[in-house]
Structure 1
Amino acid sequence: MSEDVIKYNSGWVTNQPELGTNTTKGLKCVWRREQIENKYYLTWRFSWDDLKLQRISGFTGEILWRWSTNGNNTKIEVDVTDQTQTVQTEIILMNSNVYYEYVLVPIISMTEFYDEMFLPSDKNDTILQVDGMQLHVNRSFLSYHSDFFSALFSSNFKEGQMEVVTIKDVTYGDIGLLFSTIYPKTIFPNDKTVPKLLELADRFVIPSAIHHVEYHLLNNTKIDNEKLMWMADRYGMELLLEKMIKELDTVMKAKKLKASSDYMELSDKTKAKILDKVMTII
């Protein structure tokens, strides 16, 4: 797993109000048992003041906890972006030991990174107006990566003569995410950013961004195969499509694909390839 993942295991702790406090890689967690009216809860409160300089704005992941009298783990989804938030689960009051473990991934706030990326410099010669903000960019660099921007900056278009060019129907965060995949300080795709990146790269005709996404999906993704098949077909990721069809090696997998909502969205060309593959396994 990534070095950024933060893991902690409390070990077994006697059931008491103050169950424990720990700090792991800069993430502090206070674990308590609390009574609210006639109900009892386990609560976790996270804080990360020392990590703010690393642009960490929160954490996602899961907590697993268990009573010593029960062999089953209970999973709690975690998505905290504010240090006043409390992760909480209702429990039955029991005089037994309890333990928990968490696996959490930092949420990186990219706003400052994007702000730095779009600062005025002697390398930038054009301003994009996006979401009410001005982004300083290099028109030759964007034109090289994108037919959309090449056309936009062309002298044949009035925008090509303008000092400030407005881009509509897109947010500052979206443009920052897209450009960060092709700028020198590259931010590589992950499963969470893949759908938006593909949508943006397709709209602004940036094949290099799609190539970055395809590499991630070929090597690191946990997205299900049916969705990967659709993405590969929709956005022309031929290597990924070839891999997905190659892995379609059982009748059960073929039936699962056929039953998925993504199958109906596939092109006729891809469906024909799937049929050819299925004919080799029946």
Structure 2
Amino acid sequence: MATSKTKKEGTPGPDDSAFRTQSELSDVVIVVEGRPLHVNRSVLSHISPVFLKMFNGEWKGKAEVPLADKKYDHFVELLLCAYPPQCKLISMETLDVVLPLADEYGIESIKLRCEEFVLARLQHRDMEVNNPPTKELVHFLYLADKYKLKKLLEETVEKVIHRSYNGKDCVKMLNEFGLLSVEVKFRVTSERLCLINR
């Protein structure tokens, strides 16, 4: 389960004004949920090998391309984080939206920014009593595992082995712990056993 807040009914979506209309720099329209986003193919190709391949392949020469199975607000969030001059900061509200799309489109710079955001959050939360809540920590472990974020994986494994494994809200009872890869589950379990047997 994601810890990021989901958009409430009636709340405004992300600011899409930079992509709503054609500009001197836009040369292609990406259509998401029937709504146009005016973007520059060179910019997207520069940040994403997946877009580069599409613009040189199936989308070559097309002025308008539809993206199926994507949410408009989510794709706008990705553009806001990736597209100069916006380069919006990653936040808890956007992490679970932006990271999967960055992974899907191979935008390593955004994946790195997501990882750095979580690492900074963990470092900040270390100074707090709740350090962070176990559910949030396991969520970050799940993201690190799923999206191959090595530094974050090291940090979250080190923290999660010190958490409770008994009781209602313990590590192993959380849904996302069950979704971890076999390798990461084994690593967490074995490192925890080593810690207990010291």
Q: TM bucket by the smaller chain?
A: 0.7 to 0.9
Number of equivalenced pairs: 176
**Structure 1 length-normalised TM:** 0.55
More relative contact order, 1 or 2 (CA 8 Å, 6+ apart): 2
Determine the structure 2 residue equivalent to 1:253: 164
Structure 1 residues 215, 118: closer, same or farther in 2, change over 3 A?
Answer: farther
Q: Spell out, residue by residue over 1:259-282, the C-alpha distance to the aligned partner (whole angstroms, 9 max, x if none).
A: 222222111221232134213311
Find the residue that maps to 1:170 and give its secondary structure: coil
Distance 1:211 1:254, change over 3 A: farther
In structure 1, distance between residues paired with 2:183 and 2:8? 44
Alignment of 1:210-221 (within 5 A): 210-220=111-121
Alpha-carbon separation, structure 2, partners of 1:164 and 1:117: 14
In the alignment, what sits opposite 2:153?
Answer: 241
Q: Where is the helix percentage greater, Structure 1 or Structure 2?
A: 2
Q: Identity of counterpart residues, as a percentage?
A: 23
CA distance in 2, matches of 1:118, 1:135: 6
1:173-184 aligned within 5 A:
173-183=73-83, 184=85
Q: Which amino acid aligns with 1:171?
A: K
Q: Counterpart amino acid of 2:176?
A: D
| 1:124 CA drift (Å) | 2.1
Q: For residues 102-161 of structure 1, what are the alpha-carbon distances to aligned partners after superposition, in whole Å with 9 as ceiling and x for unaligned?
A: xxxxx7x455x312245322222222122222222111211122222112101x32x212
**Higher strand fraction (1 or 2):** 1
Alignment counterpart, residue 230 of structure 1, candidates 142, 147, 151 = 142
Alignment-derived partner of residue 163 in structure 1:
63
Alpha-carbon distance in 2 for matches of 1:230, 1:249: 14
Moved more, 161-170 or 113-122: 113-122
User: How far apart in 1 are the matches of 2:9 and 2:161?
Assistant: 42
Of 163, 180, 186 in structure 2, the residue corresponding to residue 272 of structure 1 is: 186
**Residue 138 of structure 2 aligns to which amino acid in structure 1?**
E
- Give 1:273's aligned amino acid: R
Cα contact 2:140–2:156 (8 A) shared by 1? yes
Let me know the Cα RMSD of the aligned residues: 2.7
Superposed displacement of residue 242, structure 1: 0.7
Q: Secondary structure at the match of 2:82?
A: coil
Cα distance in 2 between the residues matched to 1:80 and 1:141: 32
User: CA deviation digits over 1:225-245, x for unaligned, max 9?
Assistant: 111111111111111111011
How far residue 81 of structure 1 moved from its aligned partner, in angstroms, is 8.3
**Does the CA-based 8 Å contact 1:232-1:241 persist in structure 2?**
yes
Question: What do the CA deviations read for 1:183-232 (whole angstroms, capped 9, x no partner)?
Answer: 22122222222222223223333222222222221122656211111111
Question: Is the CA contact 2:138–2:160 (under 8 Å) kept in the aligned structure 1?
Answer: no
C-alpha contact (below 8 Å) 1:248/1:277 kept by paired residues: no
Post-superposition offset of 1:177: 0.6
Q: What corresponds to 2:26 in structure 1?
A: 124
Equivalent runs, 1:27-38 vs 2, <5 Å: none
- For residues 82-97 of structure 1, the aligned pairs below 5 Å read none
Q: Determine if the alignment matches structure 1 residue 145 to structure 2 residue 47.
A: yes
Q: Is the 8 A contact 1:144 1:150 kept in 2?
A: yes
Gaps of 5+ in 2: 123-131
